[in-house]
Amino acid sequence: MTKTLIIIGAGGHGKVAADCAENMNVYTEIIFLDDRVDTLKKVGAWRVIDRPENFLKYQNNRVDYFVAIGDNNGRKQWLEKLIVGKVNIATLIHPSAVVSCYVKIQLGTLVCANAVINPFSKIGLGCIVNTSASIDHDCMLNDFVHIAPGCMFAGMVSVGTLSFIGIGCRVIQGISIGINSIIGAGAVVINDLTDNIVAVGVPAKKIKDNVPVNI
């Protein structure tokens, strides 16, 4: 049976998602919805066919949807629209990723090339586990979390909804990172971090508040 993947968002993250989907060998067609459709007709080999707000007119039982928006809050808003629209929502896992059969991954998540997710970890709605990130046993990523390339989590780490963990971060075992927080590139997290903060450094420390968002 032919199967189509419609990706919302034709930016850089959309390219990564499309490449992942193509490597999965599940979809016979991959197409984009993007606000720039009037000027952007193709992204690589993939067509841009319409604006995101028109997503429902393509719905049928042979179509899956995926939100490829890097911004956590933007991804949340669009995934919630897809859920309300009762469309089929894809989860994309690159074939080179190593994901234990004991891991639970919710809809709309992308697990990129060479990522590792070890047993009994739980990954929420619309998360990004980016290229070569390593998530050890019993970790919990709540909804709409983005783990940037090259991050390494020891076991039993928890990350709150809408938080972003910057490229190359290291997090020791048992650490809790709060809701809607940003951890800067290369940080080493050895103490729990609270909600709505920006933290950087070795060891990671709060440098300012992050603007709260509705969850």
The answer to whether 137 is a known catalytic residue is yes
CA distance 155 to 2: 40
What is the strand order of the sheet 170-171 is part of? 98-99, 116-117, 134-135, 152-153, 170-171, 188-189
Are the CB atoms for 184 and 177 separated by under 8 Å? no
The catalytically annotated residue of 13, 94, 137, 146 is 137
CA distance 24 to 95: 6
Beta strand 98-99 with 116-117 is parallel
By annotation, the residues acting in catalysis are 137
